[in-house]
Amino acid sequence: MKENFLLITGGTGGHVIPAKNFANYLSLKNINCSIITDKRGYKYFDNYNGKIYVISSSNLNGNLLFKIFGIFQILFGLIQSFFIIFLLKPSHSISFGSYASFSPMLTCILFKPFYKFKLYIHEQNSIIGRTNKFFLNFTNKLFLNFDIKSKINLKFKDKIFVVGSPENNFQKNINMSDKNSKSNFTIFISGGSQGSEFVSNFATNLIKIIDNEKIIKAKFIFQCSKYLIKKHKKELRNIKSSITLKDFFTNVDEILVNANLAICRAGAGTIVDLINFKIPSILIPLPSSKDNHQLFNAKILAKHDLAVIIDQNKDDLDKAKRQIYKIHRNRKKLESMNKKFDMITVKNSNTLIYKLILNEN
């Protein structure tokens, strides 16, 4: 059978971007690849030229009316998935999780006995998501970003492969001596793909404190929601420090190469970027993340002393400020952190996943 891949994803950037990266990898190898995603996920496919199918989806949070509406959305997505998969007849199907994957995955299971295609799951987080967990029994292999095998039922041990997260093709030429220069000390602030209001407010207050104390000189690159930009520009109008404030940056990789420290949420994609670009961080896990997975993601870096974790409910500005000052003043601390980043294995995920799939045949 000719290779014909179907990647299933949706929702937040943490689920979609790894799928997009793997899709681009397959495209470079001239392998036919299609995407099923939802409306929220579609916005992340700005530089992908393959086939993309957008289906209806919803979570079941909220009040009773929202839940009823959500059920109808899921059922409609199931009908859409049925026709798409019937036409595509994929040889390999990979789910990257999120509630948006539920309908296509269910459809794949219904078609699997007839088309005999292989079904895989990629889990980005440090706790396996509920949608992925629901379909574990039906998959050929489970690909993990982090080594969380001990948290998964032993009956699945032969399916599990730790592969990391599919990466893009950006070549990171990081000059650590220049990056660690105090004269170029750059702090990148990001509220994640959802543009967290808490992270933005926290960072704004932190910038004002640092600027007022005049202990360090820093440059701030600040990503926040579009609707918060006017508010934060007004609050920061008297700040002497250099601040670049936008709702979206097209050159994120370039920013990460030059960042000395990051203040951000703790989604799986964020953790991978911090490791790849060797950036110490102040992490503010989203308290409402499913099964509190962002806290467990954050602990992956914290246990290596590469991040401090801020409890959103405590709003600890002083803890964050102390971490910034400590990293800025101590070059040996930065050099030590760089070595610790080198100890965290970064896999060639795209190639590894592809080879593991080929070995299935």
Cα(86)–Cα(268) distance, integer angstroms: 32
Cα(58)–Cα(208) distance, integer angstroms: 39
DSSP annotation of 89 reads: -
Angle at 102 between CA 99 and CA 104, to 5 degrees: 130
Q: Which uninterrupted H or E stretch holds 243?
A: strand 242-246
Q: Which residues pair with 33 in a beta bridge?
A: 5
3-class DSSP state for residue 13? helix
345 touches 276 (CB < 8 A): no
Whose structure tokens read 């070549």?
171
Residues of the chain with CATH 3.40.50.2000: 4-164+347-358, 176-343
Long-range contacts of 336-344 (CB under 8 A, 24+ apart): 337/278, 337/280, 337/305, 337/306, 338/176, 338/180, 338/278, 340/304, 340/305, 340/306, 341/275, 341/278, 341/306, 343/304, 344/275, 344/304
Residue 7 token pair: 């990647």
Superfamily covering domain 176-343: Glycogen Phosphorylase B; (3.40.50.2000)
Residue 248 token pair: 């979206």
Task: Name, in order, each residue with C-beta under 8 angstroms of 129's C-beta and a sequence gap of 6 or more.
Answer: 97, 98, 123, 290, 293
What is the model's pLDDT at position 181? 58
Residue 296 token pair: 């467990």
Task: Name, in order, each residue with C-beta under 8 angstroms of 228's C-beta and a sequence gap of 6 or more.
Answer: 195, 197, 200
Among 129, 164, 166, CA closest to 144: 164
Characterize the bridge pairing of strands 92-95 and 118-123: parallel
How deeply is 340 buried, as exposed, middle or buried, from its count of CB atoms within 10 A (0-12, 13-18, 19+)? middle
191 touches 13 (CB < 8 A): no
CATH 3.40.50.2000 assigned to 4-164+347-358: yes
Angle at 163 between CA 278 and CA 9, to 5 degrees: 95
What is the model's pLDDT at position 360? 62
In 86-134, the DSSP E strands lie at: 92-95, 118-123
279 touches 304 (CB < 8 A): no
Cα(22)–Cα(37) distance, integer angstroms: 14
Whose structure tokens read 């070595």?
339
DSSP annotation of 291 reads: G
Among 212, 210, 201, CA closest to 222: 201
| pLDDT tens digits, 121-131 | 999 988 888 89
What is the model's pLDDT at position 280? 94
Cα(305)–Cα(106) distance, integer angstroms: 41
What is the model's pLDDT at position 148? 85
Segment-wise mean pLDDT, segments of 10 residues, the chain, 361 residues: 88 89 92 94 84 91 85 94 94 92 94 88 90 92 89 88 83 55 81 77 94 92 89 91 87 89 92 91 90 90 94 91 90 79 81 88 52
| pLDDT tens digits, 331-356 | 777 778 878 888 777 778 999 999 99
DSSP annotation of 281 reads: E
DSSP annotation of 150 reads: G
Q: How many CA atoms lie within 13 A of 94 on its CB side?
A: 29
3-class DSSP state for residue 360? coil
Angle at 96 between CA 276 and CA 282, to 5 degrees: 40
Cα(256)–Cα(208) distance, integer angstroms: 23
